[in-house]
Amino acid sequence: MADGKTKRAEHRAARVKLSDVAAASGVHYSTVSRVLRPGAKGRISDDVAERVRSVAKELGYHPNSIAASLRTQSTRSIGLIVHDMNDPVYPPILSGIEDALSPQGFAVLVSNTGYDLNVELDIVNRMAARLVDGIFLATTRLQDPVVERCQELGIPLVSVLRQTEQETSPAVVNDCYGGMRVMTEHVLASGFRDIAVILAPQYLSTARERWHGIKDTLDQAGVALPDHRIVAVPRMSVKEGKRATETLLTAGESRPDVIICVNDLVAIGAIRACREVGLSIPSDVSITGYNDIPLLDMINPALTTVRMQLHEIGKAAGQVMLAQFEGQPVTPMTQRVGCALLVRGSLGQKSESQPT
């Protein structure tokens, strides 16, 4: 019946620990501990070390990291909090983090908030109870109670993708302002002047930076962006992008020539909306995204977007975390990783129009 449980218990009971190795080696278990853990102070004679090591291997000794954690107050585990792993921006970040931390023996606890702040705070509390050594927060808001909570708890924190207004914790982000400037400049260079934008909530640094990148570029070029050409989505999803586009297409007396979307999923939604009403892209309306999630080059038309270095962002975040563990000063507080414009079919050219 409770076979698994029983076997588990058996195993547990049979599990070889330091004292077992010590007994079999004829030394005290503290000696075994020193031998097996490189970096333990106090040197050991070579013959003892060798004997202990071979006995340990023979017996199949594996340290119980829970016990070690209780003693050292370090679990060598870190949390990664994201809105939803199903958003394709997150898996590469996880990979990057693993690349940086796995070799150091860290494990990654992944939690999805489902976009719910209370869930998120709860997750932090639970991770704190588990004594995670640090937390990667991919949900960081410009004013963020979660960041504050982590600081109250004294948990080392590294924000990924986003940063707080006051840059209150180390963060590794994409240069969204620069990326969106380049994108917008390219849109202008392609001849477009009647531009619409789909923005995301401005409490996210990514969304705000991208918006400023657009706005500044347009302002400097003297291109107007009327209110009815601006829509904000509550969430960067396909569904919301579609809905926002429907709004855009029916607002004002004419439709815009191009829609600059805050990210790829929203842009996908925009494409869907256009298709549904029979608009062809890019001849009727051009569309741009941001992120370069997979398969974007396969859709019709291929989406013009900005390629973020998500894996690198994750990896850099991991390295910042390690530096923090070692007490190194974090500088700069916000590390920006570059990105690149990818021009593809979804952005056309406004050839027939002449500036007045």
Partner DNA sequence: TTGTATGCGTTATCAT
Partner DNA sequence: ATGATAACGCATACAA
Binding site for its own copies (CB under 8 A): 1-5, 7-8, 10-12, 62-67, 69-70, 73, 75, 77, 84-86, 88, 90-92, 94-95, 98, 102, 105, 107-112, 125-131, 153-156, 268, 271-272, 294-295, 298-300, 324-325, 327, 329
**Smallest distance from its own copies to CB 347, Å:** 16
Q: With CB under 7 A, what is the number of residues at the site for DNA? A: 33
What are the residues whose beta carbons fall under 8 Å from the beta carbon of 296, sequence distance 6 or more? 264, 289, 302, 303, 305, 344
Q: How far apart are CA 131 and CA 198, in angstroms?
A: 40
197: phi then psi, degrees, rounded to nearest 5: -135, 145
* Nearest to its own copies of 224, 277 (CB atom): 277
| Complex with DNA: residue 1 or 66, whichever CB lies closer | 66
Helical pair 46-59 and 18-25, crossing angle rounded to 10 deg: 120
From residue 180 to residue 209, the character string flagging contacts with DNA as x (rule: CB under 7 A) and all else as - is ------------------------------
When asked if residue 325 is in the footprint of DNA (CB under 7 A), the reply is no
HSE at residue 164, side-chain half, CA atoms within 13 A, is 16
Draw the binding track, 55-94, toward DNA (x: CB under 7 A; -: no contact): ------x-xx--xx-xxxx---------------------
Q: Provide the minimum distance between the beta carbon of 39 and its own copies in the complex, in angstroms, as a whole number.
A: 17
What is the DSSP secondary structure assignment for residue 194, as one 8-state letter?
S
Helix, strand or coil, per DSSP, at residue 120: helix
Residue 275 interacts with DNA (CB under 7 A): yes or no: no
Please give the backbone phi and psi of residue 180, each rounded to the nearest 5 degrees, phi first.
-75, -25
Q: Residue 299 binds which one of DNA, its own copies, none, with CB within 5 to 8 A depending on kind?
A: its own copies
Q: What is the DSSP secondary-structure string of 21-74?
A: HHHHHTS-HHHHHHHHSTT-SS---HHHHHHHHHHHHHHT----HHHHHHHHS-
CA distance between the termini of the chain: 83
Subset of 3-62 contacting DNA (CB under 7 A): 12, 15, 17-19, 26-31, 33-34, 36-37, 40-45, 47-49, 61
The answer to whether 240 touches 263, Cβ cutoff 8 Å, is: no
107 binds, among its own copies, DNA, none (CB under 5 to 8 A by kind): its own copies
Q: How far is the CB of 71 from DNA (least distance, A)?
A: 4
Q: How far is the CB of 68 from DNA (least distance, A)?
A: 4
